[in-house]
Amino acid sequence: MKVNVGVRGSKLALAYCNKALEQLGFTEAKIVIVESTADLNPTASIEEMGGKGVFCKEIEDCLMERRINIAVHAFKDVTRDNDAFLEIPCVIKRNDYRDCLIGNHIDPKTIGTSSPRRIAQLKSLYPLSKIIPIRGNIDTRIKKQENGEYDAIVLAVAGVDELGYMDKITRVFETDEMMPAPGQGVIAVQVVKSQTVREHNMSDLLRSKSHKDTWYCAMAERYMLERIDGNCQTPIGSISNIKWGGMLTMEAQNWETGKRGFVRGPRENYKELGYELGSMLI
């Protein structure tokens, strides 16, 4: 099937896109690179650019305008702003969702990250370190650390692994040390909500190829964020797993309110479980 696939132009975004296309079996895909607000403003902070949607708004606009058939995103970057028009019928099996440190992992004077979630947890892990904002793709951030601008930087293991930089990791944070972001490690495939036969067939095809357990976990985390009206800049971490014959377990913490919660139930109740957990965190 011939499809136009929208994706950001970073090395990691393209690697995720190619991985998704390979697993989905799309051999005739045309990759359409779409520059995001974040890509066009590499030195501005996320807050300066407006916070939500800076990594995906332009790609979602292309979808709604039918300039592309599908979009590939890091799940944690996708907002809920266009849920009335777009959907995520498919995700790829979740990669390692932990965070890691590159650089001095013992007593770093400075640690580079702009994530409020990571900052909140680093204050306990490295109370003597100064946390300094950092922007840029993975290559840029690693180069800044190796040039001495930062003693250490925090990155997601999934991205580091995808680009072949695992040998640079000096510490992997277990989830009881640093709880990952909702949706971290998940590649999302997004489409418009069906209005034509072709769009309906595309949604059905993607849904049939989705990794079901990953989808249930990621969507439950998404609904948890919806309940608290959160986004990728909210200092909240979560962990979801499916065990015991389809039982979904979720744990999350909100450093904005200081609240923590845990829920468990059938994976088919992912929406209700997400809302229930979110209610515990407000």
pLDDT digits (tens, 9 = 90+) for 233-242: 889 999 999 9
Query: Radius of gyration of the chain from Cα atoms?
Result: 18
Q: CA-to-CA distance for 189 and 88, rounded, in angstroms?
A: 6
- Average pLDDT of the chain to the nearest whole number: 92
Model confidence, pTM: 0.91
Question: Beta-carbon neighbour count of residue 123 at 10 Å?
Answer: 12
Q: Report the run of H or E that residue 111 belongs to, with start and end.
A: strand 110-112
Please determine, for residue 45, whether its predicted confidence score (pLDDT) is greater than 60: no
Banded pLDDT at 43 (limits 50, 70, 90): low
Instruction: State how far the alpha carbon of 112 is from the alpha carbons of 100, 118, 131, 205, in Å.
Output: 12, 10, 6, 41
Torsion of CA 179, 230, 202, 211, to 10 degrees: 20
Lowest mean pLDDT among 31-35, 105-109, 129-133: 31-35
Q: How many CA atoms lie within 13 A of 160 on its CB side?
A: 22
